[in-house]
């Protein structure tokens, strides 16, 4: 069972479970099976850089190495900024109390959505309490990090009387495009040309 997320809404604390909603749960999925000319199931293999060695599933892995090519444990890695200063990490949201704050529709619509979760409270009274708040059109947000890391994502909580959702994303960096210099239109009227002045001699 997944760990509960502890939320605080208007001073009331309660646990919720998050259930990820993806395309497979919404629309289902299609499995494609391939067979050779003899009817045997086909397998997906990886062709090695030598161009002749086939590597079966599970035969490859990722590793972190230093400048000398020696393997480095991920636990020894430290995140730094552009100036080489250590970046302080943030804890997982499952290990702390998450206070819901009022948010605006503009804040919500300016997000690039990464994940969508359904919120299910362990207690029926807490579930109703959450639904009563979001069913009126109110939107709440808090800083969210699933496993912890170098920064938080934005989590928005909204829904109706029967369902509550948590939408996780990042603020969109919008850049408005405009002309750097205004163009003056030439208002000079064109001179009328009569049919007698048109010559087709140059076309022969």
Contact status, residue 172 vs residue 112, Cβ threshold 8 Å: yes
* Domain total of the chain: 1
| Mean pLDDT computed over every residue of the chain | 85
Q: What is the domain extent for residue 8?
A: 1-21+87-173
CB atoms within 10 A of CB 72: 12
- The answer to whether position 109 is within a domain reads yes
* DSSP-assigned letters across all residues of 52-107: S-EE-TT------B-TTS-B--GGG---B-TTSPBPPPB--GGGS-EE-EEE-HHH
User: Does any domain span residue 44?
Assistant: no
DSSP state of 67: T
Integer Cα distance of 169 and 156 in angstroms: 8
Look at residue 191 and tell me if it is in a domain.
no
pLDDT digits (tens, 9 = 90+) for 17-71: 999 998 887 788 888 888 988 889 888 888 888 988 988 888 888 888 888 888 8
151 within a domain of the structure (yes/no): yes
How confident is the model over 73-108, as pLDDT tens digits?
A: 877 888 888 888 888 889 999 999 999 999 999 999
- Residue 139 and residue 102 in contact, taking contact as beta carbons nearer than 8 Å: yes
Paired tokens of 126? 């807490």
Q: Quick one: pLDDT at residue 84?
A: 83
**Residue 115 β-bridge partners:** 168
Check: CB of residue 109 under 8 Å from CB of residue 172: no
Task: Name the H helices within 120-173.
Answer: 124-134
Q: Which two tokens stand for residue 20?
A: 């990820």
Q: Is residue 149 part of a domain?
A: yes
The encoded tokens of residue 152 equal 């938080």
Structure tokens at 187: 């208002």
- Give the pLDDT band (50/70/90) at residue 3: confident
34 assigned to some structural domain: no
> Does some domain include residue 73?
no
Residue 192 scores a pLDDT above 70: no
* 17 belongs to a structural domain: yes
Which CATH number fits the domain that encloses residue 12? 2.40.290
Q: Please state which of the ranges 39-48, 119-128, 142-151 shows the lowest mean pLDDT.
A: 39-48
């Amino acid at each position: 069972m997944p760990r509960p997320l502890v939320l605080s809404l208007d001073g009331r604390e309660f646990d919720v479970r998050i259930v990820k909603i993806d395309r497979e749960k919404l629309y289902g999925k299609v499995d494609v099976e391939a067979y050779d000319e003899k009817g045997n199931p086909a397998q997906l293999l990886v062709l090695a850089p030598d161009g002749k060695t086939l590597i079966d599933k599970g035969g490859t892995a990722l590793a972190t190495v230093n400048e000398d090519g020696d393997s480095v444990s991920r636990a020894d890695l430290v995140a730094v900024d552009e100036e080489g200063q250590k970046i302080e990490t943030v804890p997982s949201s499952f290990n702390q109390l998450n206070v819901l704050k009022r948010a605006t529709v503009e804040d919500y619509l300016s997000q690039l959505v990464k994940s969508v979760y359904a919120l299910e409270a362990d207690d029926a009274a807490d579930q109703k309490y959450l639904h009563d708040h979001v069913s009126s059109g109110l939107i709440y947000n808090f800083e969210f990090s699933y496993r912890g890391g170098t920064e938080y994502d934005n989590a928005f909580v909204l829904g109706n009387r029967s369902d509550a959702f948590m939408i996780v994303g990042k603020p969109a960096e919008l850049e408005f495009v405009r002309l750097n210099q205004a163009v003056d239109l030439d208002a000079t009227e064109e001179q009328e040309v009569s049919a007698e002045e048109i010559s087709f001699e140059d076309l022969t």
